[in-house]
Amino acid sequence: MAAKTESTFINMVVVLTVVTALAGLALGSVYNLTKEPIEIAKQEKLNKAIEAVLPAFDNIQEIKVKEAQGSDSLQFYIATKDSIVIGTAVETYTMKGFSGLVKLMVGFLPDGSIQNISVLEHKETPGLGTKMSTPKFKDQFMGIQPATFNLKVKKDKGDVDAITAATISSRAFCDAVQRAYDTFEKNKGGNE
Q: How is the chain split into domains, by residue range?
A: 50-190
The pLDDT value recorded for residue 190 is 58
Provide the residue-wise pLDDT of the chain in tens; the chain has 192 residues: 455 566 788 888 999 999 999 999 999 999 988 989 888 988 899 999 999 999 999 999 999 888 866 668 899 999 999 999 999 999 999 999 898 899 999 999 999 999 999 999 998 888 888 889 899 999 999 999 999 999 999 999 999 999 988 899 999 999 999 999 999 998 876 555
Bridge partners, 108 (sequence order): 88, 114
Task: State the DSSP H helix or E strand holding residue 35, giving kind and residue range, or none if neither.
Answer: helix 9-53
Nearest to 108 by CA among 182, 174, 175: 182
The pLDDT value recorded for residue 27 is 93
The pLDDT value recorded for residue 105 is 97
- In whole angstroms, what is the distance from residue 104 CA to residue 124 CA? 13
CA atoms within 13 A on the CB side of 5: 6
Contact call for residues 53 and 164 (beta carbons, < 8 A):
no
Nearest to 90 by CA among 111, 72, 63, 69: 63
Task: State the DSSP H helix or E strand holding residue 181, giving kind and residue range, or none if neither.
Answer: helix 167-186
Q: What is the pTM of this model?
A: 0.80
The pLDDT value recorded for residue 5 is 60
Nearest to 191 by CA among 61, 82, 93: 61
Q: How many CB atoms lie within 10 A of CB 32?
A: 9
The pLDDT value recorded for residue 73 is 86
Task: Measure Cα distances from 148 to 6, 110, 131 in Å.
Answer: 80, 16, 25
Q: What torsion, rounded to 10 degrees, do the Cα atoms 75, 77, 78, 79 define?
A: -170
The pLDDT value recorded for residue 10 is 87
The pLDDT value recorded for residue 70 is 67
- In whole angstroms, what is the distance from residue 100 CA to residue 52 CA? 24
Q: What does the DSSP 8-state code read for residue 43?
A: H
- In whole angstroms, what is the distance from residue 66 CA to residue 186 CA? 9
